[in-house]
């Protein structure tokens, strides 16, 4: 028998019934109706493997089978299909009792077909459920597209905001470093260190982009303190240290990973491994990894380049200082790998 059915020849149908005559009947009916991709089994234990292999668009499943009943198979299929496009499962059964229906629905059945089969009924239910599956797939695709567009827009806005903040940070830094290159170098070295300790490429790039604005809070520090020749007194030191919390407050409230990373770096890049840093005296791994990486990069770059109030120190001296500070001032893993960083190995500028 043939009924006009709107379908795609590529629709994949999986039939599981322990009676070979039922399987043959269903396969013949479906193939004659234009479904060219029909897979069958009489062994319920093979259903999961077949699902993994053929990725069916619909499953016709006998409820009562020896060895492993349809309810168990169905629960297994629902678990396997979790997070994927809606998979319709039609229960084939001669038991249409209310309890059987409740059990099947609880296990995830989409519909029922009573035995003995009515050909028209089966074809209509298959057609309708395949249509529902296509609508689910279309909706999922549109949702993914919308999420991607929203993410692109959010990322673009975050990147724009970060660009403004980076330029502001550079302008602030030029009060100390007339070239304004310190911020860029810190970002590059922090990213290299992140890569050397095994951070993911995504994390490395995030740090490369966020670390340059670690000192954004210095915009609020008076020039009399920022440019003072010689040591700061206790009050001046306290004011200088507020650049961490000020920087974090400037970056606070962001809902983008990049901005939130920059906020953590601004706040934590003067924390110490031994807990004697500031502003929150965090200890060891309670300091965000971004802050620990930027602390080493900032220390190295600041000391190996001239500033208005002091001359640069030799790289070898600064590297020894970092290594001596491993486990006290710096994360020992980071201090251990700094000599391997390309920025450190390159000839001095």
pLDDT digits (tens, 9 = 90+) for 53-69: 999 999 999 988 887 88
Q: Domains plus CATH for the chain?
A: 12-144 (3.40.50.2300), 174-345 (1.10.3210.10)
Which one from 46, 115, 218, 340 is the annotated catalytic residue? 218
Query: Which region holds residue 90: left if phi is over 0, alpha if psi is between -120 and 50, else beta?
Result: beta
For the chain, the farthest-separated pair of C-alpha atoms sits apart, in whole angstroms, at 97
Give residue 50's pLDDT band: very low, low, confident or very high (50, 70, 90): very high
Is 218 among the residues known to form the active site? yes
Beta strands in the chain (DSSP E): 12-16, 37-41, 58-62, 89-93, 111-114
Per-position b or e across 213-222, b if 16+ CB within 10 A of its CB: bbbbbbbebe
Asked whether the CA dihedral 249, 251, 254, 257 is positive or negative, the reply is negative
Output the pLDDT for position 178: 57
Q: Would the pTM of this model clear 0.75, i.e. be above it?
A: no
pLDDT tens digits for range 235-277 = 999 999 999 999 999 989 877 888 899 999 999 999 999 999 9
The residue among 67 and 87 whose pLDDT is bigger is 87
Output the pLDDT for position 181: 84
Q: Flag whether pLDDT at 162 surpasses 80.
A: no
Average pLDDT, stretch 132-156? 86
- Backbone phi, psi, residue 14, to 5°: -115, 125
The residue among 163 and 143 whose pLDDT is bigger is 143
Average pLDDT, stretch 164-181? 69
Q: Flag whether pLDDT at 191 surpasses 90.
A: yes
Give residue 231's pLDDT band: very low, low, confident or very high (50, 70, 90): confident
Cα–Cα distances in angstroms (integers) from residue 308 to residues 178, 225, 228, 296, in the given order: 9, 13, 10, 22
């Amino acid at each position: 028998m043939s009924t006009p059915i709107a379908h795609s020849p590529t629709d994949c149908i999986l039939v599981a019934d322990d009676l070979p005559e039922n399987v043959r009947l269903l396969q013949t009916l479906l193939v004659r109706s234009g479904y060219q991709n029909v897979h069958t089994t009489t062994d319920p234990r093979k259903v999961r493997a077949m699902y993994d292999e053929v990725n069916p668009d619909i499953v016709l499943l006998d409820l009562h089978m020896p060895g492993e009943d349809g309810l168990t198979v169905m629960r297994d299929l629902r678990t396997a299909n979790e997070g994927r496009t809606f998979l319709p499962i039609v229960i084939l059964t001669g038991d249409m009792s209310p309890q059987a229906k409740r059990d099947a629905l609880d296990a995830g059945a989409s519909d029922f077909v009573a035995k003995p089969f009515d050909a028209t009924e089966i074809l209509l239910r298959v057609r309708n459920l395949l249509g529902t599956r296509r609508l689910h797939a279309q909706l999922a695709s549109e949702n993914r597209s919308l999420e991607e567009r929203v993410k692109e827009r959010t990322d673009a806005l975050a990147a724009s905001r970060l660009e403004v903040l980076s330029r502001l940070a550079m302008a602030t830094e030029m009060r100390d470093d007339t070239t304004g290159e310190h911020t860029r170098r810190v970002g590059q070295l922090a990213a290299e260190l992140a890569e050397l300790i095994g951070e993911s490429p995504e994390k490395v790039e995030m740090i490369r982009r966020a670390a340059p604005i670690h000192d954004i809070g210095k915009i609020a520090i008076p020039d009399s303190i920022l440019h003072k020749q010689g040591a700061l007194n206790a009050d001046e030191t306290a004011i200088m240290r507020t650049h961490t919390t000020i920087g974090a407050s400037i970056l606070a409230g962001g809902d983008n990973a990049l901005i939130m990373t920059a906020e953590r770096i601004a706040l934590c890049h003067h924390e110490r491994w031994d807990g004697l840093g500031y502003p929150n005296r965090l200890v060891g791994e309670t300091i965000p990894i971004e802050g620990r990486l930027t602390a080493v990069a900032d220390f190295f770059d600041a000391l190996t380049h001239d500033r208005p109030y002091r001359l640069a120190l030799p790289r070898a001296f600064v590297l020894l200082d970092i290594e001596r500070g491993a486990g006290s001032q710096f994360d020992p893993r980071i201090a251990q790998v700094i000599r391997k960083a390309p920025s450190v190995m390159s000839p001095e500028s």
